[in-house]
Chains A and B, each alone.
Chain A
Amino acid sequence: MVIEIQKNFHASATSRKKVNRILSLEDDVGNKVTSDHGLKDVARNYFVNIFQPQDSDFSSVLDVINPSIFDNDNDLLTAPFTKAEFRDAIFSMHPDKCSGPDGYNPGFYQHFWTLCGDDIFKECCAWLTAGQFPPDLNITNIALIPKGSLQVSMKDWRPIALCNVLYKIISKVLANRLKTILSQCISDNQSASVPGRSILDNAMVAIEVLHFMKAKTRGEDRYVALKLDICKAYDRMDWNYVMTVLHKLGFHDRWIHWMRMCIESVDYSVLVNGEPVGPIIPGRGLRQGDPLSPYLFIICAEGLSSLIRDAESRGVLTGTKVCRTAPSVSHLLFADDCFLFFKANEAQAHVMKNILATYELASGQAISLPKSEI
């Protein structure tokens, strides 16, 4: 019996290893690469390419964003840190989550909290007051996880950033503070990550609107629903755009500097079959795996939301109203998933196209048309 269980376990472990192993990759021009060295090159080039900053122009997006963070919120955000905050941050992590390049997992910090808690707290506070992280704190490994059943090129691997736990603690503390004021600056159309909103809310609204569109039999106007897919949404986020949006929303300079520290001090290494390849010094992108990223991302998506709202208030775009007194719905967001509603005519389609182009240019995002649906 015991032997059988062991055999089963080893069999499943080996098959897992097989699945996760990268055997061959296609490079940009479609050549198949199988050599160890070649694989590393392909992986490195791919990420260097993705994290390359592009020229962006976000003035038109900024014009439509309204400040919504005020002094008392900023006081809350930049208040002196307490040890309890750090403790909460550490103990809210799963102890067995994968560790970063330094090899300590959250379990380690949780177990030895009584011993090293004070030191961690003091050291982190010192870094935050000085506004400078030590250079190797923010080294991050990128692990590649297979997407779908067949992997051909780098696109079929999902990059997950593994940060140092020490960094994650700081970032979590900041994220917890950011969370509390989020509902003020994020519009109702976004339902991801904001405390008190649920994905079901958006689903229900979408169903209701679709039902309305389908059941509508009278009147000239018809409406379109457009589902967008933004490709590599996190990895392509433009840093300057993030910072300017934060600034425009009214966040305190000190807070913005902290955000800058967190996302710009990153050094990546890609793990190809267990071996780190790097360093890759990025010029854009938010990490998937950093506790702050989801919140920063939805703050940035607020740009798109504002653009659409602005067009709606100018009367060039019409959202759907399920009945005369209902609030009009022109878009629904769930993190990077986007559902747009507008009147089905050429003029409005042009307006929508312009909006999307403006947003793409500003934030560095690219909308993948093949994956979008009407």
Chain B
Amino acid sequence: MIGRDRKATFAYIKDRVWQKINSWSGKCLSKAGREVMIKSVLQAIPAYVMSIYQLPHTLVESIEKMLNSFWWGNGRTTQRGIHWMNWEKLSAPKIHGGMGFKDFSAFNLAMLGKQGWKFITEPDTLVARIFKARYFPYGSYLTATVGHNPSYVWRSIMRARFIVRGGARWTIGSGASISILNEPWLTNGEFISSDVPGALSLHNFTVNSLMNLYDKSWNEQVVRQVFSADIASKILHTPLISQVEDDRIVWKGERHRRYSVRSAYRLCVTELIDSSYLWRPGYWSGIWNLKVPPKVKNLLWRMCRGCLPTRVRLLDKGVVCPTTCVSCESSHEDLLHVFFECPFTIQVWNTTGLWGSVQHALTQAASPTEAIFHLLENLSADLSQRMSTVMWSIWKHRNLRVWDNVT
């Protein structure tokens, strides 16, 4: 039973996540191991609850924060460490420079949308019948209003309606079961909202009243009479296929035309809640498709997102430390220097036989990140693997020198 205090009702989810993070398995994982742990264990904990309730915003936020500090923390003792990026940025898809973690509130909505979709496509189940009788006796899920004294489940499912509206489209058969207002039956799944002038009189009409029933075409005269010019032309451009007999709702995100949480999530983050401002350009798939240990890929990703704690970056973050390079002690230690300019590094590139291509890439690119993308794009698979592993070793060597004084 969900009472007034939703935060308290769902607090146990947070506790479960916290427990999992603090178990021994969480503590001794590498960065790459933590990625798997977050994706397949921690993110899955609230899945059941999220499929029928919308989690409170504060809870979602604090879970995301917790996972973020687990991801960036050094793990061994406490969750301390610099959080180089927030969860929002990490949740961008991998090919757009994120880590592909879940944006919980979008995922939540996508899962709720599934319940709404089932009300439309499986109207004979017990749940669908009960909800229909209680909340939309004369309409459908897509035309319903929240109504009087709604339960929390219904309220949650209604909040996800914009996803179903955004991705669903009717294929018109007889048109008798689709009401004119608020149902996505125009091309591209557009719908006529009940705010357009004259909509009030259309409330109880279905699409078939705009059609010539004898040959299944639009009744142009009626359409032009009732609607304004732009809506009328949209209607007249909506195809009517005579072979389709029943009104059927289809999902545009998947090839099999049925709702899936995965495609709804994708739709939600790319179109409906546009989060593409979090994307970063780059040849990211080049990194993730490399056949090297995950820790190496992770290092490359951190380099390209500027999350690698070189001394210059540390100073930016307010850490008091010298900025000179640990090996040559003459120049500032930034990405370019550590990986491409330090005499020691050049020697390494020379020995591995890659210096020629690295030098070429550096002249082509404006920043070390671009140089890496350039190299990944142009080198053969074999050489890219060698290149990325060499970079990993350089960084490893640098760390050993800083922390353990190994030369």
Chain B residue nearest to A213 (CB atoms) is B1
Residue of B2, B122, B130, B152 near A326 (CB, 8 A) is: B130
- Asked if B134 CB lies within 8 Å of chain A CBs, one says yes
User: Are B52 and A203 in touch, CB under 8 angstroms?
Assistant: yes
Asked whether, in the complex, the Cβ of A188 is within 8 Å of the Cβ of B130, the reply is no
A residues in contact with B233, CB < 8 Å: none
Q: Does A145 belong to the interface (CB within 8 Å)?
A: no
User: Which A residue sits closest to B24, measured CB to CB?
Assistant: A8
- Interface code A104-127, partner B: CB below 8 Å = 1, 0 otherwise? 000000000000000000000000
A337 to B200, CA, bound (A): 48
Question: B1-24 interface mask toward A, CB cutoff 8 Å, 1 = contact, 0 = none?
Answer: 110000000000000000000000
Chain A interface residue count, CB cutoff 8 Å, equals 23
Which listed segment binds B: A162-170, A204-212, A266-274, A286-294?
A204-212
B130 close to A197 (CB less than 8 A): no
Interface centre among B1, B115, B127 (most CB of A within 10 A): B127
| Chain B residues numbered 50-101 whose CB sits less than 8 Å from any CB in chain A | 51-52
Closest to B111 in A: A200
Contact A188 B126 (CB under 8 A): yes
Q: Are A207 and B153 in contact (CB under 8 A)?
A: yes
Interface contact A215-B133, CB-CB below 8 Å: no
Task: Indicate whether A188 sits within 8 Å of B149 (C-beta atoms), given known contacts A208-B130, A208-B131, A208-B134.
Answer: no
Q: B122 — which chain A residues lie within 8 A by C-beta?
A: 196
Flag whether B137 is at the interface (Cβ < 8 A). yes
Task: State which residues 207-255 of A face B: CB under 8 Å.
Answer: 207-208, 210-212, 214-215
Bound state CA distance, A315 and B1, in angstroms?
29
Q: Which of B124-161 contact A (CB under 8 A)?
A: 125-127, 129-131, 133-134, 137, 149, 151-154
A57 to chain B, nearest CB (A): 31
B27 to A: closest C-beta gap in Å: 12
For B1, the chain A residues whose CB sits under 8 A away are 207, 210-211, 214
A208: contacting residue among B51, B125, B137, B154, CB under 8 A:
B154
Q: How far is A57 from B137 in the complex, measured between Cα atoms in Å? A: 44
Q: B133 and A204: CB pair below 8 A?
A: no
**C-beta contact mask, A321-363 vs B, less than 8 Å → 1, else 0?**
0110111010000000000000000000000000000000000
Question: Do A204 and B137 touch (CB < 8 A)?
Answer: no
Say yes or no for A201: interface residue by CB 8 A criterion: yes
Q: Which residues of A contact B134 (CB under 8 A)?
A: 208, 212, 322-323, 326
Are B127 and A204 neighbours in the complex by a CB distance under 8 Å?
A: yes
Q: Does the CB pair B133–A200 fall under 8 Å?
A: no
Contacts of A188 in B (CB 8 A): 125-126
Which of A200, A211, A323 has a CB less than 8 Å from the CB of B51? A200
Tell me whether B52 and A208 are in contact (CB under 8 A): no
Min CB–CB distance A179 → chain B (angstroms):
18
A-B contact pairs, 9 of them (CB 8 A): A203-B52, A205-B126, A207-B1, A208-B134, A210-B1, A211-B152, A215-B149, A325-B133, A329-B130
Which B residues form the contact surface with A (CB < 8 A)?
Answer: 1-2, 51-52, 115, 122, 125-127, 129-131, 133-134, 137, 149, 151-154
Identify 20 new A-B residue pairs, CB closer than 8 A, beyond the known A188-B125, A326-B130, A327-B129. Answer: A200-B51, A200-B115, A203-B52, A204-B127, A204-B131, A204-B153, A207-B151, A207-B153, A208-B130, A208-B153, A211-B152, A212-B134, A212-B151, A215-B149, A322-B133, A322-B134, A323-B134, A326-B129, A326-B134, A327-B130
